[in-house]
Amino acid sequence: MRKFLKKISHPFLKFGLNFYYSKPRNFTYNNIKIKVHSDVFPPKLTFSTKILLDFIQELELENKTFLELGCGSGIISLLATKKGAKATASDINQTALDYLVTNAEKNHLKVEAVYSDLFQNIENHSFDYIIINPPYYPKAAKSIKEQAWFCGENFEYFEKLFHQLPSYLSSETNCFMILSQDCESEKIKAIAIKNAMAFELVLEEKKLVETNYIFKIVVW
Ligand SMILES: C[S@@+](CC[C@H](N)C(=O)[O-])C[C@H]1O[C@@H](n2cnc3c(N)ncnc32)[C@H](O)[C@@H]1O
């Protein structure tokens, strides 16, 4: 965490990030072209979204039900739709959802965009796939933009997530979560274990200086 805060408080990086965030930016994957609002998690500047996109690109998704919990730009849900899935994309960031609706229309893809605090407004309990790229730095978010990064001082996001998740998991569900070496994964896993879930490593990928891990979350 200290390393991350040091990274983003460096004057040059801070200036660069503020400049980058000053207007909506374009992002493209597999011919899906989207605009990302400056208040939304930037898929271009981070590794996690791209690693998930490459992972999902390889999945057989024809006619599968797919939930991206905390969708940000929604590029992952758009890719899932393009691969034949029935995708639902949820977030607490209304700007992200508004942009996703426009981006979906422009790409002639259909995604159900749902405003939801975690699973609060998610009615379907039997998705074939659930994909989560969570906020994981232990700090209280001061804005909607910061909610993409910070999970609360005491990991409140994960406490709530792992409390709700079991009723959405069956032996048929493929629930994948990406975490980085930068986060306190042992603490996050402990919260899952407390709620009778376990993490199985399915992919480890190093990009530049950061290693990311995709875990399958399973019920004991
Ligand atoms: C790290 S970003 C990932 C965005 C996107 N899935 C991706 O991979 O590019 C985390 C996302 O979760 C959303 N989020 C944070 N807390 C949430 C909550 N309680 N309920 C729903 N979404 C939440 C944030 O607004 C943000 O869009």
Counting atoms of ligand 1 from 1, which one is nearest the CA of 131?
A: 6
Positive or negative, the Cα torsion across 157, 149, 83, 121? Answer: positive
Placement of tokens 């890719």 in the chain: 79
Residue of the nearest CA to atom 2 in ligand 1? Answer: 148
User: In terms of residues, how long is the chain?
Assistant: 220
- Look at the pTM and tell me if it is higher than 0.75: yes
Q: Are 85 and 65 in contact (CB under 8 A)?
A: yes
5-17 pLDDT per residue, tens? 445 445 665 566 6
CA of 150 to the centre of ligand 1 (A): 10
Q: What backbone phi and psi angles, to 5 degrees, belong to 85? A: -80, 160
56-93 pLDDT per residue, tens? 999 999 999 999 999 999 999 999 999 999 999 999 99
Binding pocket residue ranges, ligand 1, CB within 6 Å:
41, 43, 48-49, 52, 68, 70-73, 76, 90-93, 96, 117-118, 133, 135, 147-148, 157
pLDDT of the residue at 2: 47
Beta strands in 95-196 (DSSP E): 111-115, 129-132, 174-180
Measured distance CA(80)–CA(58) in Å, rounded: 10
Lowest mean pLDDT among 14-23, 186-195, 201-210: 14-23
Pocket probe mutation, ligand 1, options 92, 176, 180, max atoms within 8 Å of Cβ: 92
Going from the N-terminus, what domains does the chain have, and what CATH number goes with each? 2-219 (3.40.50.150)
pLDDT of the residue at 17: 67
Going by C-alpha positions, the residue among 97, 132, 154 that lies closest to residue 216 is: 132
